[in-house]
Chains A and B, each alone.
Chain A
Amino acid sequence: MDKLVLKDLLVLKKSMYWALVYLLAILFIFSMNPPFDKFLYIMAAYGAAYILIMGALMAEYENQTNMLLNSLPVNRYEIILSKYLSALVLALLTLCVAGTLGIVINLLPLPLAIRFMNGVDVGIVLIMVAVTLAIVMPMNLKFGNQAARVTTVMFFMLLFFAPVGVKGYIMDNSQTEWAQALINIAVSQPVVLLAAGAGGGILLLGLSMFVSLRIYEAIDF
């Protein structure tokens, strides 16, 4: 399995440069644009992770490597599980790079001040990546990369602006009972909210993995 994950990292050499450029651009651009500055790390890391995950899937699709991968001494379930694992590794990698860039930017004498990354940023990015993966993987296997890309770009845009949008919506309805309850939890027990999100994300991922495995196991290449 680790060999398959490593394979994804090697294949992504070119996309990694793009992801880094994207991370820097987002950090610089959105740091000066409220209310986006509050969601800086989420937008940067999620977008970069998305670029890398789609890059890995695209590399497999362009080279039609299913023939190669399935001729190597690996099981089909390992190929699928490794795709999920690679995506998780890539998400963690982008989070690390985004966090490090945040520190570096603050240390450098730049006319720019951004906050440091925190646990909530990490949690939200991981949940967003999990939800994206849960949709992208089975779609990619069932309908092919091109078809899946169109849907997932739309889905990506939706999730990309979701944190800002959700916050705005809650604030607009801050007098309602449900919004009050949510704000209370978010302020007093953010971990509970994150844990609920993580639980949902894991559940969705598990379901997605099951569906992807079923699809992939049945394919005749």
Chain B
Amino acid sequence: MDNVLEIEGLNKNLGNFRLHEVSFALPRGYVMGFIGPNGAGKTTTIKLVMNLMHRDSGEIQVFGLDNRRWGKKIKQRIGFVYDDSHYYQNLSILENRRIVARFYRGWDEKAFQCHLLDFGLPPDKKLKDLSRGMRTKFSLAIALSHGAELLIMDEPTSGLDPVFRSELLDILRQLMIEENKSVLFSTHITTDLERVADYICFINQGQIVLCQGKDEVLQGHVLVKGALNLLTSETEKMFIGMRKNQYGFEALTADSRSVRQFFGDTVLQDQAGLDDIMVYYVRGNKNG
């Protein structure tokens, strides 16, 4: 499969935080949800891809090219949306566009004007007078107006209310259907991804925990609920993470067959969501 982004053995030491041997690949035309709790290493990874940080070791290839050597060429083909607007707040939407558009050879003014209309963005309003959601939409409009093949979005929905998030995700889904772009979408709000992602890459404490197709991830994990007396030190090893209270336990397993064979009908098995998967991987077997 043709990958637009390939990361291999990526390391970065930031003193109090370390990105360790991060490896994953994003195939062309797919949406990858890059999930993990706050401070897991999502933004660091994205900054390394965008050359905003210097890696200690490892390889990053975008469109098959080394991201450091060919940074300028690669960025012509990347659209970016960050968690906060880094455009000029005292300038209007059109003035910001005038600054940014010149940098892209493939700038499509017609597409930009279309996105302004679709997103309901007032062209003459200063960025500082827009809501956070509108600023995110502006970043998206810019990212989608220069023929980018890869969209890199770092927590674009953080700080947005559910209505705005839903709207943004609808826009994104529609664009995916129409334009067949590849997207790396980092978020800690996993429910956003259940609607749009094809792949899930989960990072925690600077290390990739799992990186698979979304359906594979969801089908490969099961929530198990049962009485406390069923638990022994041996059985607990079957679980990735567990929560216990006085009424029983709830745990996540990636081996539902073994759980079924061992516990039979004495436990309940339920489908796990991305949220459950992330929470249990992060918390492990801590009680409470």
In the complex, per-residue mask of A97-131: 1 if CB is within 8 Å of any chain B CB, else 0: 00000000000000000000000000000000000
Q: Please list 20 pairs of residues, one from A and one from B, whose beta carbons are closer than 8 Å in the complex, sorted by A's number.
A: A7-B102, A10-B98, A11-B99, A63-B90, A65-B87, A68-B87, A71-B50, A71-B52, A71-B80, A71-B82, A71-B86, A72-B100, A73-B76, A73-B104, A74-B103, A220-B14, A220-B47, A220-B52, A220-B54, A221-B53
Contacts of A220 in B (CB 8 A): 14, 47, 52-54
A218, B52: Cβ atoms under 8 Å? no
In Å, the complex CA distance between A123 and B54 comes to 41
Known: A3-B102, A11-B99, A73-B103. A59 touches B52 (CB 8 A): no
Q: For residue B98, which residue of chain A has the nearest CB?
A: A10
Partner among A13, A63, A74 whose Cβ is within 8 Å of the Cβ of B87: A63
Q: Is A62 an interface position by the 8 A CB rule?
A: yes
Q: How far is the CB of A13 from chain B (nearest CB, A)?
A: 8
In Å, the complex CA distance between A21 and B34 comes to 51
In the complex, per-residue mask of A8-25: 1 if CB is within 8 Å of any chain B CB, else 0: 001101100000000000
In the complex, per-residue mask of B55-96: 1 if CB is within 8 Å of any chain A CB, else 0: 000000000000000011111101010100011111100010
B47, A221: Cβ atoms under 8 Å? yes
Q: Is A64 an interface position by the 8 A CB rule?
A: yes
Cross-chain pair count, CB within 8 angstroms:
69
Q: Is A151 an interface position by the 8 A CB rule?
A: no
Q: Is B51 an interface position by the 8 A CB rule?
A: yes
B72, A70: Cβ atoms under 8 Å? no
Contacts of A74 in B (CB 8 A): 72, 75, 103
Contacts of A59 in B (CB 8 A): 88, 90
Q: Is the interface of B mostly helix, strand, loop or mixed?
A: loop
B82, A67: Cβ atoms under 8 Å? yes
Contacts of A66 in B (CB 8 A): 86
Interface residues on B, range: 20 to 34
Known: A10-B98, A72-B103. A221 touches B52 (CB 8 A): yes
Q: Is A162 an interface position by the 8 A CB rule?
A: no
Interface residues on A, range: 20 to 34
In Å, the complex CA distance between A59 and B72 comes to 24
Q: For residue A68, which residue of chain B has the nearest CB?
A: B86
B52, A70: Cβ atoms under 8 Å? yes
Q: How far is the CB of B110 from chain A (nearest CB, A)?
A: 21
Q: Is A173 an interface position by the 8 A CB rule?
A: no
Q: Is A75 an interface position by the 8 A CB rule?
A: yes
Q: Is A6 an interface position by the 8 A CB rule?
A: yes
Partner among B51, B74, B90, B95 whose Cβ is within 8 Å of the Cβ of A70: B51
Q: How far is the CB of A87 from chain B (nearest CB, A)?
A: 18
Known: A63-B86, A63-B87, A221-B47. A7 touches B99 (CB 8 A): yes
Give the one of A65, A66, A70 with max B CB within 10 A: A70
Contacts of B50 in A (CB 8 A): 70-71
In Å, the complex CA distance between A59 and B80 comes to 21
Contacts of A64 in B (CB 8 A): 86
B residues 2-48 near A (Cβ < 8 Å) are: 14, 47
Contacts of A75 in B (CB 8 A): 71-72
